[in-house]
Structure 1
Amino acid sequence: MIGAITGDIVGSVYEFDNHRDKRFTLFRDDAFFTDDTVLTVALAETLMHGGDYGDAMRRWYRHYPQASYGGMFRKWAETTHAGPYYSWGNGSAMRVSPVGYVFDTLDEVLDQAAASAAHTHDHPEGIKGAQAVAAAILLARQGADKPAIRNYCETAFGYDLETSLDVIRADYDFDVSCQGTVPPAIRAFLEAENFEDAIRNAISLGGDSDTLACITGSIAEAFYGVPEWIEAEVFHRLDAPLAAVTRAFGERYMSAAR
């Protein structure tokens, strides 16, 4: 979960000022958490204490109404009884990481990832994107190597994970779809040498930088862990409510991370 929040914070300042290179300041002074972090925390809280994913997301939205949500999500969150809006956007994938740490079988992870997505992202691509990220996290924390993670995501979800970052980067554009975000984010993890390198890979692609790096970071944490200095930088940028849930979730579930 810290991995996802790291990617969100690091990418926040590059989302609309893309930096297509791995050489950049990892934590700029003006970096901040966005809706990616808020909704990740909402799911984490639900998994710790029970309740409804949709209710939690609406409640946390009310606490942080200015956190750069998408327009359709904002309309949904502001309407108490609104149903899902058939979204294929990458929001379902950027918030799903807690699911990959709480459950220990692929069936459970796939079911809960779909459930967390379906309140808003009930399009098949929205469901698939959340499932792919959560499954990759589960496999990574259970000791699978990168070829096994890649093979599963390609076979189960039909993603192209063969194209290198150098090729993707050449013409990658701002893409908020799951199908245009999740495969490059997974590839950024697959080409990484360590956690920090994974975040740098994701940012270097350009596009929707905070969400790309959020997804990449969530998987990279399960595989590599997060360096203590990076974790400290993250908590320095979280306010008390977000930090409290993040710490509690880490204490309860993250000891199983690789």
Structure 2
Amino acid sequence: MSMTSKVLSGLMGLCVGDALGVPVEFTSRAERSRSPVTSMQGYGTWDVPPGTWSDDSSLTFCLAESLCEGFSLDAIAQSFWRWYNNNHWTARGEVFDVGNTTFLAITNIKQGVPPLEAGEKSERSNGNGSLMRILPIAYYHKILTFSELISRTHQVSCITHAHLRSQMACGIYISIAVALLEGANPNTAYQQGLKNIEDIYSNAKYASERSHFTRVMSGEIAQLSEESINSSGYVIDTLEASLWCLLNSSSYAEAVLKAVNLGEDTDTTAAVTGGLAAIYYGVENIPKEWIEQVARKDDIIDLANRLTVILNY
């Protein structure tokens, strides 16, 4: 797969997963079991047309677009503000489904707080709002050393979610994404990603948080039962659920539908799953009818092309 298609795969795969989950966000697993999502739907929870993506994709695209001009935390933060205030990179000109932690950080940014000080730092601020948008950082893997890549991942998380737990969840996710970009299959990428990140997270700085990652870091998340997988908006739940869905499926469609049908934070679980799954399976294996229904499809393709050029792939 060419690097251009890997960039497009990740961005489109995340976005399609997000759009699949939007209409049924906040519904229970029992509801999804009775009436599972099998195709791109519309309306529902947010009363928006089929193919409408949420803040997950918007902020991912804001980050990716900022990276097209190089790495600047100020530029990334201002892009987030433009999204919230000016509907920049919204699916249909409307912002919806904004997490409280992200909102508070963007308010801080507007008031001139530096990006690395804008994000919430309390333990209660560990929602999935930075994990859902962090994927584009993985595309720097050939330009930066691994430690530099993870350092920048932490910094970008801190713009909205500055607690160590959120930073580490993003770091683990990016480490696994890099292994997928380097050609590993999902299970190998999971194991390799954990191995690569271990040197960083074995540092005493992270010791107080490691217990929260026990199930992920065991290397055995795939063996857990569906009943033991949570799909709330808590960052640990989203990381675990997305890896579980990726590792217990054999196609892009199966992975993201599994994520949506876990219920609760359906759009984010599917977006985080979809970014990884599409890198592995390729954009050509995302159902074409889903891509055709996605809002601003051509703009997403253009963004992927621009990001590929700036990274000199």
* TM tier relative to shorter chain: 0.7 to 0.9
CA 1:128–1:102 in structure 2 vs 1: closer, same or farther (change >3 Å)?
same
1:72 lines up with 2:101 in the alignment = yes
Query: Per-residue deviation at 1:22?
Result: 9.3
CA 1:251–1:206 in structure 2 vs 1: closer, same or farther (change >3 Å)?
same
Which residue does the alignment assign to 2:60? 40
| Aligned mate of 1:109, from 127, 139, 149 | 149
Listed one character per residue, the Cα deviations across residues 43-82 of structure 1 (whole Å, up to 9, x for unaligned) are 0011112343211111122233632111232233234124
Query: Per-residue deviation at 1:13?
Result: 1.2
Distance 1:61 1:119 in 2: 14
RMSD, aligned CA: 2.7
TM-score by length of 1: 0.85
Query: Per-residue deviation at 1:147?
Result: 3.1
Which residue does the alignment assign to 2:132? 94
Listed one character per residue, the Cα deviations across residues 126-146 of structure 1 (whole Å, up to 9, x for unaligned) are 101212222221110111233
| Aligned mate of 2:42, from 15, 26, 29 | 29
Listed one character per residue, the Cα deviations across residues 161-196 of structure 1 (whole Å, up to 9, x for unaligned) are 4244872x3265552121121011111111110111
1:144 lines up with 2:144 in the alignment = no
1:122 lines up with 2:142 in the alignment = no
- Computing the radius of gyration from Cα coordinates, the structure with the larger value is 2
Distance 2:301 2:139 in 1: 14
Alignment of 1:171-182 (within 5 A): 172-173=229-230, 175-182=232-239
How many residues get paired?
252
Residue 180 of structure 2 contacts residue 280 of structure 2 at CA under 8 Å; is this kept in 1?
yes
Indicate the percent of aligned positions where both proteins have the same amino acid: 22
Of residues 183-192 and 59-68 in structure 1, the stretch that sits farther from structure 2 once superposed is 59-68
Q: Which letter maps to 2:159? A: H
CA 1:143–1:60 in structure 2 vs 1: closer, same or farther (change >3 Å)?
same
Which residue does the alignment assign to 1:49? 69
Which residue does the alignment assign to 1:250? 304
Residue 14 of structure 2 contacts residue 271 of structure 2 at CA under 8 Å; is this kept in 1?
yes
Alignment of 1:85-234 (within 5 A): 85-86=120-121, 87-104=125-142, 105-155=145-195, 156=198, 158-161=213-216, 162-164=220-222, 167=225, 169-170=226-227, 172-173=229-230, 175-227=232-284, 230=287, 233-234=290-291
Residue 175 of structure 2 contacts residue 194 of structure 2 at CA under 8 Å; is this kept in 1?
no
Residue 172 of structure 2 contacts residue 194 of structure 2 at CA under 8 Å; is this kept in 1?
no
Distance 1:70 1:2 in 2: 22
CA 1:180–1:229 in structure 2 vs 1: closer, same or farther (change >3 Å)?
closer
Listed one character per residue, the Cα deviations across residues 193-228 of structure 1 (whole Å, up to 9, x for unaligned) are 011111012112222111000000010111111236
TM-score by length of 2: 0.71
Residue 198 of structure 1 contacts residue 220 of structure 1 at CA under 8 Å; is this kept in 2?
yes
Query: Per-residue deviation at 1:29?
Result: 3.5
CA 1:224–1:159 in structure 2 vs 1: closer, same or farther (change >3 Å)?
farther
Distance 1:141 1:69 in 2: 30
Specify every segment of 5 or more residues in structure 1 that has no aligned partner in the other structure, as ranges.
none
Which residue does the alignment assign to 1:237? 294
Q: Which letter maps to 2:175? A: A
Of residues 2-11 and 110-119 in structure 1, the stretch that sits farther from structure 2 once superposed is 110-119
